[in-house]
Chains A and B, each alone.
Chain A
Amino acid sequence: MVKFILSLFRPFRKILEWAGVNYHQFEVILQAKLTMDNRKVLGHNNQQKAMKNALGMQVMIYTMMGGFMSMMLMKGSGALFFFTTIFFSFIMIMVIMGLISEFNTILFDTRDNSILLPRPITPRTLLFVRVMHIMIYLMVISLSLSIIPLIVFAITFGVAPMLILLADVMLMTIFSVFLTNIIYMLLMKFTSGERLKDIIVYSQIVMAIIFMGAYQLMPRLAENEALISSFSQIKLWMYLVPPFWMSASLTPIINGGFSLQSAIFLTLSVAMPVLGLWILSSVLAKSFNQNLATLDQGDTKSEKKKGKAEKATLVDFLARIFTYSLDERTSFKTIWQISSRDRKFKQAVYPALGYVFVIILMTFINGHTSMADIVESKKFLLLIHVPSFILFILTFSLRFSDNFKASWIYLTIPVQRPGHIISGAFKAVTVQLYLPIFIIVNIVTIYIWGAGVIGQIIFGLCAALMMNYVILLLQPAIFPFSDEKSAEQSGRNATKSMLMFFTITAMGGLHYLLLYLNVNVLNVLPLVLIVLFLLSRKYRLTPWNKMTNFV
């Protein structure tokens, strides 16, 4: 595979050399980078195995996603402009997301600073390697997303339009790379290394939430006649939005009616990516390498955070309320601090906070239901149970960290019951991230449905916590932030998501059944509270021989 990809560059050797690239070095570095990509590592500690078919799996998932997209394209030529715009926007978002999520291995591999920078390699060669490495990675994403749409396009419109679509997809990918690089370079110019990493994490979170929102919103938009018909005319702002360049030039080629406007869009769709690539390789080359070198020079900041003392008092207060022992309290406070700083944890959990609002919002704006109908309905169950999504994400994510090796500390402390540590940790993230969202969402519930639902809310909260303790007790007991997240575990996310979805639906369903049967949940509440107490106690008393450790 690596050799095949490298062979694709050989015909362009002269052009690359003309552009100032040392072709031999270019090939040597690209080969090493692609070999490393092919050897993605999974497993923890030293029991690492080579990931098999990592690329194949990725291609398959993206192909399936592209398959869903192609359903829209199959709607025919009537709304082709609208649907191709959505398709190119989708490709652009996916490429940008790919570049953001793999930024540390693809874009900012700071190991390059000590391995490549002291070698006699021209900045131009290094930049071309970097750009080509990114391009190869992202072309895999965009082409796998496009396989099924391309087939659908070929069947519906013919081979020639399919080839144009293929070219557009590639141009869109190139332009997205340029766009992301520009943003990164601006960020690198104005922020320090650590802050840049924070910004990247937050943008990943925002992108994930936007993506989830778009995923929910798109089917509704595809049925919105008014919106589709608004695409019947070219508007001035469309010249500024890249996906329109591609769709507005592709549509008249297929449907006929190629005009001056179409020619302008066609020019933009070809010229802008090419121009972007040129700017990237010639103008920005030097500054990128220089900025990268400064990325891992460490921060000299020693900024004092405002309100730190007050925050510590609050955490102290909460720890005293929610914990039983000194060990549990200590764990609560420490994990509270780590979870609010650990990037990997934020990356895994924060999008879930956004998803909750997206899901709730989408359910309420669905259809043309009036407020009176909503009040009559039992949709408050949704508001009570959807936040459980956060709780389950917390349970699954709490074990992982980039600094997982630091968990040796748990094995050296004289704690009688390690359960106090894991229980304190779980309580910390629950109080920090789940409870505030649950409270905010259910203030809305009380506002809409009145104080009468308070009992339902308390019941829902206890049921969610109870269910979560069941999940915690069924899983192997692991210290917080003590395991390395691997590709294998990431692959299990789909199963976990299914389990989460099933559990939340089951809980909501059960709650609905109780309401349907006219059972007063307040009568059941004491039983739930007893079970919750017993489960939390059992978890807190987890002994050493039940602990799994990876140190």
Chain B
Amino acid sequence: MSNAIITINNLSKSYRNGKTEKKVLHNINLSVLPGQIIGYIGPNGAGKSTTVKILSGIISDFEGEAMVAGYDIRKEPLKVKEHIGYIPENASLYETLSPMEFLQFVGQLHGLDVSRIEDKAIRLLELFDLKQSAHDRMNTFSKGMKQKVLIISGIIHNPDVIFMDEPLDGLDANAVIIVKEILMQLAKEGKTIFYSSHIMDVVEKISDRIILINQGIVVADGSYEELSQGKDTTSLEQLFTFLTGKSDHSQRAGEIIDIVEQ
């Protein structure tokens, strides 16, 4: 696909620990079109975060090729980073700064004008119910409040591609709905969302394409309708269970209760 905004060819990644090497991604090939919302799902340790970190330029030692926004992530990482937003899994922030100071900091690194950042930041903080705390230090914030600041910092510079790693972690129900709406509206405007999550119902509702990764290998790729065709499943959760080969949940639950009750 020549007009793809993300192209991955034979992407592999290993972690070395002393003499042992653990391969977490095995020759992944993907092509993502502008405006798509990709639900990137998989069990714990499947390689989701590693993929997102490679595509965001955080991990630079990998095998294979990765192109984002028309640029090779290995050859022109800065060009890629100019076009992306990244929302990490853990609320990693400089917590002794206030949200306003942090957003000013991030905005300036993306080359935005100070007064423009301030204007955008205050309006975004207000929409996320954080205006009252705009100048408070974030070390007193709840997990959800920090997550909201992270989401704003990932989109304030209007990126073409947004990589999200469990972005809804810790958010209240209203904030979750807002973020879902934001993602869908951004996609309509041609922005690409690469959304990695465990929360299946959100992925099912917002993604127009679902990629399932298991033990570093893509095991399914398509819309929910395509993936569930011919399978006896009524939700993405069931489909996930089916595709990852772990369908003995009720048996396991029974065994757990047996042990607890012993």
Contacts and interface: CB of A to CB of B under 8 A. Distances in A.
Contact of B109 (A41, A119, A192, A293): A119
A119 B108 CA distance: 10
B22 interface: yes
Interface string A300-316: 11000000000000000
B176 to A, nearest CB: 21
B101 A41 contact: no
A500 B88 CA distance: 46
A269 B106 CA distance: 40
A36 B84 CA distance: 26
Interface string A101-134: 0000000000101111111111000000000000
A25 B109 contact: yes
B57 interface: yes
A29 B61 contact: no
Interface size class for chain A? 20 to 34
B96 A118 contact: no
Nearest to B50: A297
A220 interface: no
A113 B79 CA distance: 18
Nearest to B84: A118
B74 interface: no
B249 to A, nearest CB: 26
Contacts of A41: 96, 139
Interface residues of B, number: 36
A301 B22 CA distance: 9
Interface stretch (B12-20, B35-43, B191-199, B228-236): B12-20
B94 A120 contact: no
Given A24-B108, A122-B78, A115 B61 contact: no
B20, B84, B96, most chain A CB atoms within 10 A: B96
B82 interface: yes
Contacts of A113: 58, 92
B181 to A, nearest CB: 24
Contact of A32 (B85, B105, B110): B105
Interface in B127-159: 137, 139-140
A48 interface: yes
B224 interface: no
A35 B97 contact: yes
B61 A28 contact: no
A120 B20 CA distance: 33
A24 B86 CA distance: 22
A178 to B, nearest CB: 24
Nearest to A111: B92
A53 to B, nearest CB: 16
Interface string A149-193: 000000000000000000000000000000000000000000010
A293 B105 contact: no
A340 interface: no
B93 interface: yes
A362 B179 CA distance: 66
Contacts of A121: 78, 81, 109
Given A24-B108, A111-B92, A300-B22, A118 B57 contact: yes
B93 A111 contact: yes
A370 interface: no
Contacts of A114: 58, 86, 88, 90, 92
A119 B109 CA distance: 7
A316 B187 CA distance: 60
Contact of A300 (B20, B59, B108, B137): B20
Contacts of B88: 114
B214 interface: no
A117 B58 contact: yes
Contacts of A39: 96, 137
A39 B137 CA distance: 10
A29 B97 CA distance: 12
A301 B97 contact: no
A46 interface: yes
Contact of B140 (A32, A48, A293, A299): A48
B56 interface: yes
A35, A41, A113, A114, most chain B CB atoms within 10 A: A114
Contacts of B110: 119-120
A300 B81 CA distance: 29
B257 to A, nearest CB: 21
A35 B96 CA distance: 8
Nearest to B109: A119
Nearest to A115: B92
A293 B105 CA distance: 21
B109 A48 contact: no
B17, B57, B84, B92, most chain A CB atoms within 10 A: B17
A232 interface: no
A124 to B, nearest CB: 11
B109 A46 contact: no
B10 interface: no
Nearest to B86: A118
A113 B165 CA distance: 14
A6 B137 CA distance: 22
A77 interface: no
A261 interface: no
A117 B57 contact: yes
Given A120-B78, A297-B15, A28 B58 contact: no
B152 to A, nearest CB: 13
A290 interface: yes
B60 interface: yes
Nearest to A194: B17
Contacts of A294: 15, 59, 61
B219 to A, nearest CB: 22
Contacts of B58: 113-114, 117-118, 293
B59 A293 contact: yes
Contacts of B108: 24-25, 28
Interface string A14-31: 000000000011001100
Nearest to A27: B108
A36 B96 contact: yes
Contacts of A293: 58-60
Closest 8 CB pairs of A and B: A118-B86, A114-B88, A120-B81, A39-B96, A114-B92, A118-B56, A300-B22, A119-B109
Interface of A: 24-25, 28-29, 32, 35-36, 39-41, 46, 48, 111, 113-122, 192, 290, 293-294, 297, 299-301
Interface of B: 15, 17-18, 20, 22, 56-61, 78-79, 81-82, 84-86, 88, 90, 92-94, 96-97, 101, 105-106, 108-111, 137, 139-140, 163
21 contacts: A25-B109, A29-B105, A32-B101, A39-B137, A40-B96, A48-B139, A48-B140, A111-B93, A114-B88, A114-B90, A116-B109, A117-B57, A118-B81, A118-B85, A119-B109, A120-B79, A122-B78, A294-B59, A299-B17, A300-B15, A301-B17
Given A32-B101, A118-B58, 5 more contacts: A41-B96, A41-B139, A48-B140, A114-B58, A119-B81
